[in-house]
């Protein structure tokens, strides 16, 4: 045997398929608990949904399902320390870009409505006549900062990241799991499927989102604005990320001019002084969506091979909140893998809750 096809049979404690924010933050968490971890990524790490995201840490978004609240709050609490650790390990800056959010609310909400002074201080120029906003202490990051720092931090902590390495099949044995890839075979005691929108075996489906970058004067927009049809995320340097479409169109990641023009128009209606960048920067990514909007986390129970239950796990389907939820997901999935009581119960996120998933769980074959 020789070259790239040589089998890689050294036994890691954990192998993870998918080098997005979920796979790498879980890998880092397990590595910091002393385990040997290999992350296998089909393309480049952090270039799929985790690269395309807006970066709101939307703990209090009323659109989130209530079952997500405990995990979201845990992640919100973990975030400052998680960013500090990424910075320490990667030697790169990963700052919180904003600290406040103006969240639109319906006519029945009476408490916490932002005053004209508050809006004037954080978002002068915002058209708040037609939309009512609540001011909440909720921050945002620039996901591109995390894209640079997280793979570096994982490797600096002693993790192994193998890129251009698609996992095409997984076989669970009595003592170990074997992963087939074009770069040979990998073996691990435990396997976690973190393939984001590509984890179709557990009913995860891509939900496309298009975004565009605009700009405005630095002192004008200092907080995230979540309005009914659009959100604005200032990066603290004049750039403002505007998002996002929600489209169920399969794995299409093309950007279409009509959608981008519509986003820019609605953004300008809200904040007339927003300007187009020159050239216009726009992009699209695929959120890992599920039929009930909740993540898929937990053991691949329901397999014929009972022993595989504790060897194969899922952490996917984080839909619109994967940037927010990554630190808490890493924490609780690492806890269940290492047989600790998780900080947040994850039964509601079970990998076998959908009928289709029951057939597919544990049968990763791409
Ligand atoms: C436009 C947009 C805006 C968003 N805004 C926000 C936001 O403001 N806040 C927030 O919290 N979240 C946001 N999200 C959601 C967030 O981006 C996702 O929930 C999160 O990135 C999912 O991370 P992931 O690691 O599961 O998936 P990904 O980042 O997609 O990573 C999955 C990885 O698995 C790899 N892979 C697939 N198949 C295989 C295989 N067979 N073998 C090996 N590797 C494989 C892929 O190449 C990919 O790199 C947004 C998403 C989009 C698209």
Tens digits of residue pLDDT in 33-50 = 999 999 999 999 999 999
**CB atoms inside a 10 Å sphere around CB 140:** 26
Question: Ligand 1 within 6 A of 16 CB?
Answer: no
**Ligand 1 atom with the shortest distance to the CA of 207:** 53
The region of weakest confidence among 101-110, 141-150, 259-268, 351-360 is 351-360
Residue among 78, 320, 324, 330 whose CB has most ligand 1 atoms within 8 A, to mutate: 320
Residue among 49, 213, 263, 284 whose CB has most ligand 1 atoms within 8 A, to mutate: 49
Query: Alpha-carbon distance 20 to 341, whole Å?
Result: 25
Show Cβ contacts of residue 20 under 8 Å, excluding neighbours closer than 6 positions: 45, 46, 48, 49, 50, 194, 196, 322
Distance from the alpha carbon of residue 251 to the mean position of ligand 1, in angstroms: 13
Question: Ligand 1 within 6 A of 18 CB?
Answer: yes
Distance from the alpha carbon of residue 308 to the mean position of ligand 1, in angstroms: 26
Q: What is the mean pLDDT of residues 113-137?
A: 94
Query: Alpha-carbon distance 356 to 108, whole Å?
Result: 39
CB 285 within 8 Å of CB 322: no
**CB atoms inside a 10 Å sphere around CB 190:** 21
Percentage of the chain modeled with pLDDT above 90: 83
Model pTM?
0.95
Distances (CA, A) of 260 to 104, 280, 288: 22, 9, 21
Query: Alpha-carbon distance 94 to 366, whole Å?
Result: 34
Distance from the alpha carbon of residue 161 to the mean position of ligand 1, in angstroms: 17
Give the model's pLDDT for residue 304.
Answer: 43
Question: Ligand 1 within 6 A of 186 CB?
Answer: no
Comparing 177 with 300, which gets the higher pLDDT?
A: 177
Question: Ligand 1 within 6 A of 166 CB?
Answer: yes
The region of weakest confidence among 114-128, 160-174, 350-364 is 350-364
CA nearest neighbour of 163 among 51, 35, 17: 17
The region of weakest confidence among 39-48, 247-256, 258-267, 271-280 is 271-280
Query: Alpha-carbon distance 132 to 102, whole Å?
Result: 9
**Ligand 1 atom with the shortest distance to the CA of 366:** 41
Question: Ligand 1 within 6 A of 53 CB?
Answer: yes
Chain length of the chain:
366
pLDDT per position as a tens digit, 73-106: 999 999 999 999 999 999 999 999 999 999 999 8
Distance from the alpha carbon of residue 219 to the mean position of ligand 1, in angstroms: 32
* pLDDT tier, 172 (very low <50, low <70, confident <90, very high otherwise): confident
Query: Alpha-carbon distance 19 to 30, whole Å?
Result: 14
H or E stretch covering 258:
helix 257-270
CB 139 within 8 Å of CB 96: yes
Burial classification of residue 9, based on how many CB atoms lie within 10 Å of its CB (0-12 exposed, 13-18 middle, 19 or more buried): exposed
Residue among 16, 17, 19, 20 whose CB has most ligand 1 atoms within 8 A, to mutate: 20
292-311 CB burial, b ≥16 within 10 A, e <16 = ebbbbbbbbbbbeeeebbbb
Protein residue whose Cα sits closest to atom 10 of ligand 1: 321
Question: Ligand 1 within 6 A of 163 CB?
Answer: no
């Amino acid at each position: 045997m020789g070259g790239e096809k040589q089998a890689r049979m050294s036994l890691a404690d954990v192998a993870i398929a998918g080098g997005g924010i979920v796979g790498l933050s879980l890998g880092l968490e397990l590595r910091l608990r002393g385990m040997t971890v290999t992350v296998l990524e089909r393309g480049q790490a952090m270039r799929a949904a985790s690269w395309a995201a807006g970066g709101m840490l939307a703990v209090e978004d009323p659109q989130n399902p209530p079952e997500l609240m405990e995990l979201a709050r845990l992640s919100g609490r973990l975030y400052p320390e998680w960013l500090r650790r990424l910075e320490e390990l990667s030697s790169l800056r990963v700052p919180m870009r904003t600290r406040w959010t103006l969240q639109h609310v319906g006519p029945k909400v009476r408490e916490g409505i932002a005053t004209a002074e508050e809006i004037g201080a954080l978002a002068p120029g915002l058209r708040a006549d037609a939309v009512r906003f609540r001011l909440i202490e909720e921050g945002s990051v620039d996901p591109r900062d995390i894209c640079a720092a997280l793979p570096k931090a994982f490797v600096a902590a002693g993790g192994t990241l193998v890129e251009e390495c698609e996992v095409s099949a997984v076989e669970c044995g009595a003592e170990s799991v074997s992963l087939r890839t074009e770069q040979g075979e990998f073996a691990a005691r435990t396997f976690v499927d973190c393939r984001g929108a590509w984890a179709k075996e557990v009913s995860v489906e891509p939900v496309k989102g298009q975004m565009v970058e605009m700009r405005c004067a630095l002192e004008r927009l200092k907080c995230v604005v979540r309005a009914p049809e659009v959100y604005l995320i200032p990066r603290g340097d004049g750039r403002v990320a505007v998002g996002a479409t929600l489209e169920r169109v399969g794995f299409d990641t093309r950007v279409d001019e009509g959608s981008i023009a519509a986003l820019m128009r609605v953004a300008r209606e809200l904040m007339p002084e927003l300007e187009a960048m020159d050239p216009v920067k726009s992009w699209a990514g695929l959120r890992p969506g599920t039929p009930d909007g909740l993540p898929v986390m937990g053991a691949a129970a329901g397999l014929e091979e009972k022993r595989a239950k504790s060897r194969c796990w899922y952490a996917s389907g984080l839909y619109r909140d994967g940037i927010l939820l990554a630190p808490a997901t890493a924490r609780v999935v690492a806890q269940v893998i290492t047989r600790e009581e998780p900080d947040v119960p994850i039964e509601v996120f079970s990998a076998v809750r959908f009928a289709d998933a029951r057939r597919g769980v544990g049968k990763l074959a791409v």
